[in-house]
Amino acid sequence: MTAPDRTEVTEAEADAEATLYCTVHPTVATNLRCNRCGRPMCTRCAVKTPVGYRCRECVRSQQDKFFDAQMLDYLIAGAVSLVISFFAAGLLARLGWFLFAFFLSPAAGGLIGRVVWQLTGKRRGRYMGMVVGANVIVGALPFFMLNPLAIGIYLFMATGAAVAQFRLHL
Cβ-based nearer residue to Zn ion, 22 or 112:
22
Q: Is 47 helix (H, G, I), strand (E, B) or coil?
A: strand
76 torsion bin: left (phi>0), alpha (psi -120 to 50), beta (else)? alpha
For Zn ion, the binding residue among 9, 24, 111, 130 (CB under 5 A) is: 24
Say if strands 47-49 and 52-54 run parallel, antiparallel, or are unpaired: antiparallel
Residue 36 engages Zn ion in binding (rule: CB under 5 A): yes
For Zn ion, the binding residue among 9, 12, 13, 25 (CB under 5 A) is: 25
Query: How far apart are CB 37 and Zn ion at their closest, in Å?
Result: 3
Query: Could you tell me how many residues of this chain bind Zn ion (CB under 5 A)?
Result: 11
Residue 37 engages Zn ion in binding (rule: CB under 5 A): yes
Residue 42 engages Zn ion in binding (rule: CB under 5 A): yes
For Zn ion, the binding residue among 21, 53, 55, 154 (CB under 5 A) is: 55
Backbone Cα Rg of the chain: 26
Taking residues 92 to 121 in sequence order and writing x for each that binds Zn ion by CB under 5 A, - otherwise, the string is ------------------------------
The CA-based dihedral angle spanning residues 104, 108, 110, 116, taken in that order and rounded to the nearest 10 degrees: 180
Contact indicator for 111, 84 with CB cutoff of 8 Å = yes
Cβ-based nearer residue to Zn ion, 1 or 145:
1
Strands (E), the chain: 20-21, 29-30, 47-49, 52-54
Partnered with residue 166 across adjacent β-strands are none
> Which residues here bind Zn ion, judged by CB under 5 A?
22, 24-25, 34, 36-37, 42, 44-45, 55, 58
